[in-house]
Structure 1
């Protein structure tokens, strides 16, 4: 069986990476740390204990922030701030922000986690009007 290969980058395109291998989990995290990281309702992260991360360009622009006294880690482009992959737990777990991938991901989220911290405004979002682009 051929190995899965995913390409990814940051918003300013200064950082490019490749992930080779499978993701075991895909979680939408509603913890307060992920909400602050994303400025949104949740983080959307892919997890793999076996996939290999290769930086193709701009690794020197990747900064990693570790929140003191927690297990929370976030890597990002120092120029545009886009979330980027990082290795955690002594490099045994690869965490990839799903939105950083340029390759289409067929995998759907396994679930929502830390739901006790969900934003109150998030309830009923499936009924909010949708627009194809910015509304006129």
Structure 2
């Protein structure tokens, strides 16, 4: 079997103060349509990829990171200088993964998102039409598309 060698992906914030490296993204990557992601990113949805903690490291600017803990216990990390959203942690985070905002990657990503989550609270002016599965909330719950 010809197994693909993994790459190290790099990324960072808009102003360049915070930089990271990530390897071996997990297979599940989702476009999140929850109202908090929409507000935090100022966009129709946010796209995240999970990386095991041991395959993720901050390269520079970790001291510039700030965290916002929402009422539901989720934590969003962002650059204190430019405000770029960099990572997300669910309320039940056990520390094994880092969820990276994929829009902050420097280059191409071989994997592709495989689902839309929290479609039940999507913006009414967005209709995903990429054929990916759509979940009312997270992947453990009912699908919105069938």
Q: TM-score range by the shorter chain?
A: 0.7 to 0.9
TM-score by length of 1: 0.81
- How far apart in 2 are the matches of 1:34 and 1:17? 21
Q: Which one of 23, 28, 34 corresponds to residue 26 of structure 2? A: 23
Partner of 2:125: 121
The yes-or-no answer on 1:34 pairing with 2:37 is yes
CA RMSD of superposed structures (Å)? 2.1
Higher relative contact order, chain-length normalized (CA < 8 Å, sep 6+): 1
Contact 2:23 2:51 in 1 (8 A): no
- CA 1:50–1:118: 2 relative to 1, 3 Å: same
Stretches of structure 1 that go unaligned for 5 or more consecutive residues are 127-136
- How far apart in 2 are the matches of 1:114 and 1:7? 28
Stretches of structure 2 that go unaligned for 5 or more consecutive residues are 131-146
Contact 1:30 1:42 in 2 (8 A): yes
TM-score by length of 2: 0.76
How many residues are aligned here?
A: 125
